[in-house]
């Protein structure tokens, strides 16, 4: 297992190098002169030159890339053009709201999706199975920002159960923390929980048709024991795979949800950076998000061996 983890970590190095190349190239994908775009239409020649020097555009791209990469390896993500703060500091300030939202959404999605999928697989074509189909279609059909406005209108504006915007750190009180995250977490987890429920249903249906399940039933094992001890354990690998890979959906959706609910997280930081054409911040956020996703995939692969003893590395 240790050797497998070491090999996967080594494999992540070229992946992150490619990501770094793509992130660095974002500056050059901008139509026209990036320095002129950042400085604005009313900028003088001196202002454009100042921006060009600040971005290092006066140097060859090859030299600038490896200089930027050397700073990245030292933990230096650059300095924001708009605020003058270091990108690392800005990301660290926004990390708690985003991690809290993503964690809350994952717990909510798994708590809803896995039991929903199990109940749907228990009786195919039954009531729960039909409800799951409606849930999946509805989740795929409604855009995230539309779902956010609907959830906010029902639970915040109409019922007054939760605040419609803002974020309260967990240090300020657990009640306010959960209350502020409830609506954005529900919005963000709608599609994610539907995906998990669909994969859980398909995986459970396949396992429930196996001979050892019928043998356990013939020996008098209860249905709860069969579902959760025998079937779910053997159906867990595809479910865990979807939970891990589906985090990309959450990370992408967090950008929209944080903007809808005014949560000061990385998603809101990304939107502000795009509006101000603050390329160092955009590059830093994309790089950190990509590294997190690579590590999540590594954790999912390592979890396979613990869930299924037939898997050996």
CB-based contacts of 288: which residues, under 8 Å, 6+ apart?
Answer: 77, 91, 266
Q: How far, CA to CA in Å, does 231 sit from each of 92, 130, 209?
A: 42, 21, 10
Give CA–CA dist 66/171, Å, rounded: 41
Name residue 79's beta-bridge partners.
86
Query: Is the pLDDT assigned to residue 284 strictly greater than 60?
Result: yes
CB-based contacts of 117: which residues, under 8 Å, 6+ apart?
Answer: 132, 196, 197, 198, 199, 200, 201, 203, 204, 239
Three-state DSSP class for residue 86 = strand
Distance from the first to the final alpha carbon of the chain: 7
Question: Which alpha helices (H) appear in the chain, and where do they start and end?
Answer: 2-25, 34-39, 45-55, 61-73, 87-122, 127-141, 144-152, 174-208, 211-218, 223-225, 232-234, 236-245, 247-260, 266-275, 279-307
Give CA–CA dist 228/31, Å, rounded: 55
Name the average pLDDT for the chain: 77
- Of the ranges 34-38, 39-43, 284-288, the best mean pLDDT one: 284-288
Burial class (CB in 10 A: 0-12, 13-18, 19+), 73: exposed
Residue ranges of the chain that CATH labels 1.10.3720.10: 99-307
DSSP 170: G
Structure tokens at 122: 């228990």
Please give the average per-residue pLDDT across 275-298, as a whole number.
80
C-beta separation of 280 from 81 below 8 A = yes
Q: How many CB atoms lie within 10 A of CB 20?
A: 20
Lowest mean pLDDT among 44-53, 175-184, 252-261: 44-53
- Of the ranges 29-38, 205-214, 247-256, the best mean pLDDT one: 247-256
Please give the average per-residue pLDDT across 195-200, as a whole number.
84
Query: Is the pLDDT assigned to residue 29 strictly greater than 70?
Result: no
C-beta separation of 287 from 77 below 8 A = yes
Structure tokens at 121: 């697989």
Q: What is the pLDDT of residue 103?
A: 86
Name residue 86's beta-bridge partners.
79
CA 70 to centroid of chain Cα atoms: 27
C-beta separation of 47 from 53 below 8 A = no
To the nearest 10°, report the CA torsion of 191, 197, 203, 208.
-170
Query: Is the pLDDT assigned to residue 311 strictly greater than 60?
Result: no
For domain 99-307, give the CATH superfamily.
Answer: MetI-like (1.10.3720.10)
Confidence of residue 180 (pLDDT cuts 50, 70, 90): confident
DSSP 57: T
Q: What is the pLDDT of residue 193?
A: 85
Confidence of residue 206 (pLDDT cuts 50, 70, 90): confident
Angle made by CA atoms 90, 55, 27, in degrees to the nearest 5: 85
């Amino acid at each position: 297992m240790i050797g497998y983890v070491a090999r996967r970590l080594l494999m992540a190095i070229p992946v992150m190098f490619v990501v770094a190349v793509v992130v660095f190239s974002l500056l050059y994908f901008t139509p026209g002169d990036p320095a002129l775009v950042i400085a604005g239409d009313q900028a003088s020649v001196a202002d454009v030159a100042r921006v060009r020097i600040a971005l290092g555009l006066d140097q060859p791209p090859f030299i600038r890339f490896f200089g930027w990469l050397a700073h990245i390896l030292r933990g230096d993500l650059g300095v924001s053009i708009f605020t003058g703060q270091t990108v690392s500091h800005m990301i660290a300030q926004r990390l708690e709201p985003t991690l809290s939202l993503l964690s809350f959404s994952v717990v909510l999605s798994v708590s809803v999706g896995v039991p929903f999928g199990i109940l749907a697989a228990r009786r195919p074509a039954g009531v729960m199975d039909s409800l799951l189909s409606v849930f999946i279609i509805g989740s795929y059909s409604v855009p995230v920002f539309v779902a956010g406005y609907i959830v906010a209108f029902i639970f915040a504006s109409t019922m007054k159960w939760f605040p419609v915007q803002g974020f309260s750190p967990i240090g300020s009180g657990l009640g306010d923390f959960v209350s502020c995250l409830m609506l954005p977490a529900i919005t963000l987890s709608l599609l994610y929980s539907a995906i998990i429920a669909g994969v859980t249903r398909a995986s459970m249906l396949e396992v429930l048709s196996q001979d050892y399940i019928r043998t356990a039933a013939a020996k008098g094992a209860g249905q709860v024991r069969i579902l959760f001890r025998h079937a779910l354990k053997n159906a867990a690998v595809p479910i865990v795979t979807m939970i891990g890979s589906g985090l990309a959906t959450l990370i992408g959706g967090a950008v929209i949800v944080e903007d809808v609910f005014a949560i000061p997280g990385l998603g809101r930081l990304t939107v502000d950076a795009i509006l101000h054409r603050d390329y160092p911040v955009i590059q830093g956020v994309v790089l950190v998000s990509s590294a997190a996703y690579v590590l999540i995939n590594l954790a999912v692969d390592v979890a396979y061996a613990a869930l299924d003893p037939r898997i050996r590395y």
